[in-house]
Amino acid sequence: MKRSVIRDETNGDTEAIRRVHLEAFGGDVEARIVDLLREAGNSIISLVATVGAEIVGHVVFSPVAIAEAPPGFGALGLGPVGVRPGSQTMGFGSALIREGLRRCERDGYDAVFVLGSPKYYIRFGFAPAQAFGFENEWGIGDEFMVLTLRENARSEVHGLVRYAPAFLEAGI
């Protein structure tokens, strides 16, 4: 991996982050999700990967609501995560995810959910969420995954997981 820095998003990063997602996904849905999360104040953890002055990757973590969660149970949704095409397969996405998960744990969250490739996310400790009694508003199966950051969190909580409104507003 090229030498990179993982840092918090700053006010001046908005356009570069938008460009990352537009290029990474070849459409604007993910870029719109990120913009809407930011505008609504739901961008809880937002990190960029830089090489020199160039932003090559971005990840955001936003709040999720779980229908039957006890008071005090905190969970976030991971994503979108994007890396510019010329910088993919160099470890930037993994570095962003690992740092974001480290911060989730540091900040006291109990679980993180993701909609994505099981083959990719299993390396971070994610497991199919349905196996633990979690459902999602889109009816997605194996690609809906959970990582618990606190022992016994999966056995204490179950139910419908709802992502921030930005995901529905953007057309997911």
Is the distance from CB of 149 to CB of 61 less than 8 angstroms?
A: no
The least confident of 11-25, 42-56, 128-142, 146-160 is: 146-160
CA distance 117 to 56: 21
Per DSSP, 51 falls in state E
For 146, other C-beta atoms within 10 Å of its C-beta total 24
Residue 26 parent element (H or E): none
Taking only the tens place, the pLDDT of each residue in 88-129 is 989 999 999 999 999 999 999 999 999 999 999 999 999 999
> Which pLDDT score, from 0 to 100, does residue 74 have?
93
Q: Which residues of 23-33 are buried (b: 16+ CB within 10 A; e: fewer)?
A: bbeeeebbbbb
Number of folded domains that form the chain: 1
pLDDT at 4 > cutoff 70: yes
Taking only the tens place, the pLDDT of each residue in 44-99 is 999 999 999 999 999 999 999 998 888 888 999 999 999 999 889 899 999 999 99
> Which pLDDT score, from 0 to 100, does residue 43 have?
97
Give me the domain span that covers residue 114. Answer: 5-169
CA distance to 16, 31, 92, 163, per residue, from 13 (Å): 5, 13, 17, 24
Read off the pTM: 0.94
> Which pLDDT score, from 0 to 100, does residue 146 have?
96
Helix, strand, coil percent values for the chain (each to nearest 5): 35, 30, 30
Instruction: Please name every residue paired with 115 in a beta bridge, in sequence order, or none if there are none.
Output: 144
CATH number of the domain encompassing residue 148: 3.40.630.30
Q: Which residue has the tokens 């009816």?
A: 139
Taking only the tens place, the pLDDT of each residue in 13-34 is 999 999 999 999 999 999 999 9
> Which pLDDT score, from 0 to 100, does residue 152 have?
65
Give φ, ψ of 30 to 5 degrees. Answer: -65, -40
pLDDT band of residue 158 (cuts 50, 70, 90) is confident
